[in-house]
A and B are shown apart, each in its own frame.
Chain A
Amino acid sequence: MLRRKRLWLVALAVSLVATGTGAAWAQDDDDMTFEPDDVSKPKEGEPAPEPGTEPGTEPEPEPEPEPTIDESKAGAQPEEKLGEKRVSWQDIVVVVRKPFLKNGRIELLPTWGVTMNDNIIQHVQFNGQLNYYLTDVLAVGVEGGLFVKNLREPFDLVARQARRLPTVNKYNYAAALNFHYVPVYGKFAIFDRKIIHWETFFTAGVGFTQSEVLPRDPAYLPFKNFLITPNVGASMRFFITRFLTVNVGIRDYVFVDKFEPVGRGPGMFESAADAKENADSSIINNVVFQAGLSFWFPMGFEYTTFR
């Protein structure tokens, strides 16, 4: 008799555990849905939801409430105090958390770039950045990159049509120490379906660039310049996953470059050292459009505040 009772108890316990586990799963499920039958009938002792707050009309994934005030009702409703029991719909979070946290994370950002403001010579930039976020809006980082030159149509055209050889320098490599600040944060919908979060950040830093003269007469040797290079820029970052973002931006690298002297020829500034000594200087804004993918480490993050 005792053994039979024990068996029934075991079966009952298994059933309870099974039911309980199912409930726990439902709570953890991100795709949890509300069926109209689940919520349309108020439970006993719980007030009915107000018109306009029916569950069928409340599936807003990104609540952006436009405050509407019904003054006639406002005076009639009693003031709610802390500690009082609240109806369930008032507990719904109307301001969602930021979907991506950067504080304390490292960003590895390889980029491809192209110079925008030189119609004689264009450079393609292969760049890499490593940034550490001190807060969610402030980062410090380093960057380094290589340039590949591409002479454009006017380089040949000016030589053929105007019989003038352009004085041009190419860039070899560059590096910088940068600070980034994120003042603008936003989100947008694509085709009224998918919501993407993004932000704009400004960059300022200082570094160096190595440029190299392209001699007008290839019989002469080129010379190289080491140029102190401040930079400023603005970029946009689009959040794709918790560890991946897409970046596009514009950066202005400013330096005083040294060019081959105009009079270089037989008997004049023939050696590279002489030519460099008598080089013509000019301030250059090397404006570069950059695009790249950011990889974030650690690859995940945890919220430290309540929703």
Chain B
Amino acid sequence: MTRKTTLVLIAALAAASLAAPGSARAERKSLLKDQPAVRHRMLLVRGRFEATPLFESSINADFKHTVSGGLKLEYHFSDMWSFGALGAYGSSINTGLSKRIISTLPGESVDPDPTPTAAEFTEHLNKMPIHGAAYVSLTPWYGKLAAFGKAFVNFDFYFQGGASFAQLKSLCRDQVCSDTMADDDPLTATDNDPNDDPPVNDGTRVGLYLGAGIHVFMNDFIALDLTVRDYLFKDNPSGLDFNGNGAVTEKDGRFLSHIFMGAGISIMLPAKVKRTK
């Protein structure tokens, strides 16, 4: 009986050993825990200065597209964080909507028809010759890709936020914008026709800036930089009465998105790239 008990105990111990490896494993900590996802990684941005000649064009403008060229300067003080600024100088092109409207507008106004003449409509539109931003940038994703199984390139995604600025310009001649006393107060307003009011949509604007983009590295220090940027500030692109009070005033401006898509060539300095351990 005693031997039987001993044997049963041995068998029980053996059975218990089935569970033992599991609990032992649970106590172990993986050597990979808290390790970086990639070792010996090329530090393509950390500690580097980035200079990017760029081109960008508006994609959501209602009346005038802005096509511009400029320069972006940025310093990457860590793998993920950087700060920088960009400025662009551009020229304006009428959108398809503007062209269609202008082609149907009359050359002379006829009272009491409130339709603007082609000159009134055209000269109230504003342009954006200069725009730019100062921002902080976060680069949370980096990686590499293979194209057609042949070309292997590094890339990263980044997101930016900061302040935007723009210089707006509108040029309405005196004979077109002749109502220099334009007012939305019915007691003092000279007339109820906004088409001859000054457009009040030029000057400097400051607002919010949001951006996102991708660097595709051609080599250790040159990258293709593809971006979408949104410059948000108060604007009245048509320069006509927006709020329906019969006059063009500052109150017709509203906070609008000015979305641009662009491309540039980033040059990273110093040219020599470091690696992680």
Interface residues of A (CB under 8 A from B): 4, 7-8, 10-11, 14-15, 17-19, 21-22, 25-26, 29, 31, 33-35, 55-56, 59-62, 64, 66, 116-117, 119-120, 153-154, 157-158, 160-164, 166, 183-196, 198, 200
Contacts and interface: CB of A to CB of B under 8 A. Distances in A.
B140 A190 contact: yes
A279 B141 CA distance: 50
Nearest to A166: B97
Contact of A163 (B15, B95, B114): B114
Contacts, number: 149
B27 to A, nearest CB: 11
A173 B83 CA distance: 45
B176 to A, nearest CB: 15
A22 B37 contact: no
Nearest to B194: A161
B20 interface: yes
Contact of A14 (B15, B20, B25, B61): B15
A31 B33 CA distance: 11
Contacts of A119: 60-62, 95, 97
B181 interface: no
Contacts of A187: 143-145
Given A188-B141, A188-B157, A192-B37, A160 B244 contact: yes
For chain B, which range describes its interface: under 10, 10 to 19, 20 to 34, or 35 or more residues? 35 or more
14 contacts: A11-B11, A14-B14, A15-B13, A60-B39, A61-B37, A119-B60, A120-B97, A154-B97, A158-B101, A160-B241, A185-B149, A186-B144, A187-B143, A195-B143
Given A31-B25, A35-B28, A4 B3 contact: yes
Contacts of A56: 31
A6 to B, nearest CB: 10
A64 B40 contact: yes
Interface string B215-234: 00000000000000000000
Contacts of A10: 7, 11
A15 B59 CA distance: 74
A17 B38 CA distance: 41
A60 to B, nearest CB: 5
Interface in B143-196: 143-149, 155-157
B198 to A, nearest CB: 15
A122 B34 CA distance: 47
B142 A188 contact: yes
Nearest to A25: B21
Given A26-B25, A119-B95, A162-B115, A7 B7 contact: yes
A17 B141 CA distance: 48
B140 to A, nearest CB: 6
A192 B28 contact: no
A190 B141 contact: yes
Given A4-B3, A18-B15, A188-B144, 6 more contacts: A119-B97, A185-B149, A189-B143, A193-B36, A196-B143, A198-B143
